[in-house]
A and B are shown apart, each in its own frame.
Chain A
Amino acid sequence: MNLRLHIWRQKEPGAQGMLKAYDVADVSEHMSFLEMLDVLNERLLENGEDPVAFEHDCREGICGTCGMVINGRPHGPEPKTTVCQLHMRSFHDGDSITIEPWRASAFPVVKDLVVDRSAFDRIVQKGGYISVNTGNAPDGNAIPVPKVNADLAMDAASCIGCGACVAACPNASAMLFTAAKIGHLHALPQGHAEKGARVYNMVLAMDDEGFGACTNHLECEAACPKGISSLFIAKLNTEFVITSLL
């Protein structure tokens, strides 16, 4: 198939960016979206032009490195699919595709489609962990964890930290990301000791980083490549209110 791409080009942080058009011919339906961009970049390189900078690493949908807004949707048109796992069979000959970076002031553009997501790390550093030094642990079977809790924890813990939730949210809120980490740790008995401080500190960190507030649009859930449920946001809100009252 032949495609016309409109790609956001921006030389460096703070620079003026613009959408630039590129034609890509003979795209196979078996290619991944990123492989299609690889083909474009090889051609740009051969012509001595600056290739499109985009982030990617595992290309298996698990590392969370890749991410771009495709025709207005983070990670593109397929549900529960990262852009590295999106294949060209989801597009048609003659399609025009607009490709932009995540848009959020807490995720400044570094170059082209690359954004700085270190704000996510800083939120985790404020409480997204269980304080247990190496060597302190009792036997793994000492505390039984009901299977439903373990499964719930795993549902939340499958977050890959890609940032699609922020990109999808009209307020650029990081609520689903934060709620997923809290939901994971609070579903397990090991996470209970620090419950209150965790939820309080992580929510404050989210605000400090410049993410917007959550107004329940739930676009995040629709965009999440791991299908993380917005119910975790409700749980976070409940716990935040309880912690604030105590």
Chain B
Amino acid sequence: MIMELSGRTPLGSLTDKWEKHKNELKLVNPSNKRKFSVIVVGTGLAGSSAAATLAELGYNVTAITYNDSPRRAHSIAAQGGINAAKNYQNDGDSVWRLFYDTIKGGDFRAREANVYRLAQVSGNIIDQCVAQGVPFAREYGGYLANRSFGGAQVSRTFYARGQTGQQLLLGAYQALSRQVGLGKVNLLTKKEMMDVVVVDGRAHGVVIRDLVDGKIESLTADAVLLCTGGYSNVFYLSTNAKACNVTAAYRAYKRGALFANPCFTQIHPTCIPVSGDYQSKLTLMSESLRNDGRIWVPKERGDTRLPNLIPEIERDYYLERKYPSFGNLSPRDIASRAAKEVCDDGRGVGPGGKGVYLDFADAISRLGRKVIEDRYGNLFEMYQRITGEDPYSVPMRIYPAVHYTMGGLWVDYNLMSNVNGLFVLGEANFSDHGANRLGASALMQGLADGYFIIPYTVGGYLASTGPGTHTEAVRNKAAEAVQHSEEKITRLLAINGKRTPTSFHRELGKIMWDKCGMARNEQGLQSALVEIPQLRDEFWNNLRVPGTGEELNQSLEHASRVADFLEFAELMVRDALHRKESCGGHFREEFQTEDGEAKRNDNDFTYVAAWEYNGNNAPLMHKEHLHFENVELATRSYK
């Protein structure tokens, strides 16, 4: 049955909703908190911050990661910064502006109340991180420094050199480590979540597999938090870490959690271009580089002169030309599409014409090499290590790559999915970025969810439901889920075909990039709907995984994740096919303006598409209509 979903947003004015809601949420008495247990899956920014904070409050927390340490999560790779509406620069920033920029940046496909709350707590995050010892960049007077990021006209981004994600994650990791040391968090490393235990629409625990000895077991708790990141690796080549996967979210979906807006994926404009068939991943160059770097291509097609030999007049600084008010700091989706457009036009640079220049010559002559070194030194080093070229003397070559996924499991205002007791945080949920995320907002959202939202809303849930995990029905369901996971592993090992997990993953990635990537159309999506099931069939008949399920078996880990990507990809394509409009990262070629900009269809698509698993049949789509009471749905213009 098709439902109209409600985000259960509290009533009242936008500015008061969160305060009012916090006051109305039920509380768990301090001495009762230790009677409740919470499982946190994933230890990135969202997971570590949530696990640490819930343990500080007194809950019994189990934190699970597939990495060998919580400090490895991919949040660590975020370079540029974290947004907060502190207005330390006195440049006109405010909670309202951060809210508005985020809603507009997301092309009006996010829930107003969630985004406003995010902007409201953004300042607390900076305070908390400073107190933890995060070494943010400082001015000479000792006060916090800021820089600018795409899609905003104020300087509100806090940073720690080009390693902001690392420092924020280490802050959360240290807070988590403190709780582990105090015995309040049971930390399980090298364990991968295989399933959620759901009885009567309520989550009671998870099934995990030990990646070292292969043992599969269940854990029960009063609430489960999925903080398991995004699914960019469905494209095989992305800027995500190699292990990032959709398995936890997808298996929750198969147990009844709704998957929202899976087609909203973000292509980041500044990545190092692909260099060969062996390429295993793509490397991002921080958006912060666009503060000082100028993006250009030659005006003439097929101009193969070295960049230094192309005179100023024969260069096309296309972002500055097309979007004079935002220029090189246009939002990611816009900058990516513009790069694709000039490359498709035959004006791309480097091998295969898949690249554009990001040039620092002007900035170096204006500010001096020393200033540029201070600002971006480690990024320049990284670029040189990978490409063998010196960006101080030759412009960088960059090209868009998949980077982040705005879609994710559907959650209400409390960050709870439609399965009771199953909460979803950070990139794994769909909630705050609409159809496109602004730079430096992922770190903000992960930490907002973990430090400042979930501690209240989980408390409200537990206070109103009480403990309830140790029933026979739960034990039976858990045993059944364990068996189900074991069977899946056995099946993967038994195929004994000829192709490796990587070869299937690469092939799936190519289908997705070609048909459901930066630009999508009906015909391509329809053909993807034919190709993906064919590839999945071949996978289940011709996969080869050596070894056993009772040892460290990295091929088996990969195969299990690819199996889920092969199913999930189809859901993504279906979502992209149904959304007959262009918005944010979802660009349907049939729906564009005369000058090639995304053309939204607010009359028919101002909703969240939340998909329900339906066995072997096509998934069912439920809708949450988005109501904009405080902002006007405007055409998103950065001109």
Contact = CB atoms under 8 A, between A and B. Distances in A.
Nearest to B185: A125
A60 B385 CA distance: 10
Contact of B77 (A11, A60, A132): A60
A199 B69 CA distance: 22
A118 B68 contact: yes
A228 to B, nearest CB: 13
Interface residues of A, number: 80
Question: Interface SS of chain A: helix, strand, loop or mixed?
Answer: loop
A93 interface: no
Contacts of B554: 51, 53
Given A61-B382, A118-B69, A188-B135, A140 B130 contact: yes
Given A50-B546, A57-B242, A140-B144, A130 B283 contact: no
Nearest to A59: B281
Contact of A48 (B187, B243, B284, B546): B546
Best-buried of A39, A124, A138 by chain B (most CB within 10 Å): A124
Contacts of B143: 141, 144
A191 interface: yes
A110 B211 CA distance: 11
Nearest to A205: B181
A27 to B, nearest CB: 9
Contact of B53 (A78, A134, A145): A134
Given A63-B241, A118-B189, A147-B139, A191 B280 contact: no
A46 B189 contact: no
A129 B180 CA distance: 12
B144 A141 contact: yes
A153 B142 contact: no
Interface string A122-139: 001111111111111111
Interface string A30-49: 11101100110010011011
Contacts of A124: 173-174, 177
A45 B76 contact: no
Interface residues of B, number: 83
A60 B283 contact: yes
Contacts of A245: none
A154 B382 CA distance: 18
B69 A117 contact: yes
Interface stretch (B121-129, B147-155, B311-319, B592-600): B121-129
Interface in B458-511: 498, 500, 502-503
A25 B71 CA distance: 36
Contact of A59 (B52, B141, B241): B241
B386 interface: yes
Contact of B276 (A31, A45, A141, A154): A31
Nearest to A12: B551
B53 A158 contact: no
A74 interface: no
B167 interface: yes
Contacts of A58: 72, 74, 76-77, 241-242
A101 interface: no
B385 A85 contact: yes
B67 interface: yes
B280 A147 contact: no
Contacts of A138: 127, 131
A9 interface: no
A55 B68 contact: yes
B140 A132 contact: no
Contact of B138 (A53, A64, A145): A145
13 contacts: A38-B278, A39-B278, A48-B546, A58-B77, A63-B74, A117-B68, A121-B69, A125-B177, A134-B175, A147-B142, A150-B138, A184-B135, A188-B135
Interface of A: 11-12, 28, 30-32, 34-35, 38-39, 42, 45-46, 48-51, 53, 55-65, 78, 80-81, 85, 87, 89, 110-111, 114, 116-118, 120-121, 124-141, 143-147, 150-151, 153-154, 157-158, 160-161, 184-185, 187-188, 190-191
- In the complex, the 4 A-B pairs of residues with the closest C-beta atoms, listed nearest first: A144-B142, A129-B174, A125-B181, A137-B131
Given A57-B243, A160-B166, 17 more contacts: A42-B503, A50-B547, A58-B76, A59-B280, A59-B283, A63-B72, A63-B77, A65-B67, A89-B388, A130-B174, A133-B56, A135-B124, A140-B144, A141-B88, A141-B143, A158-B163, A190-B130
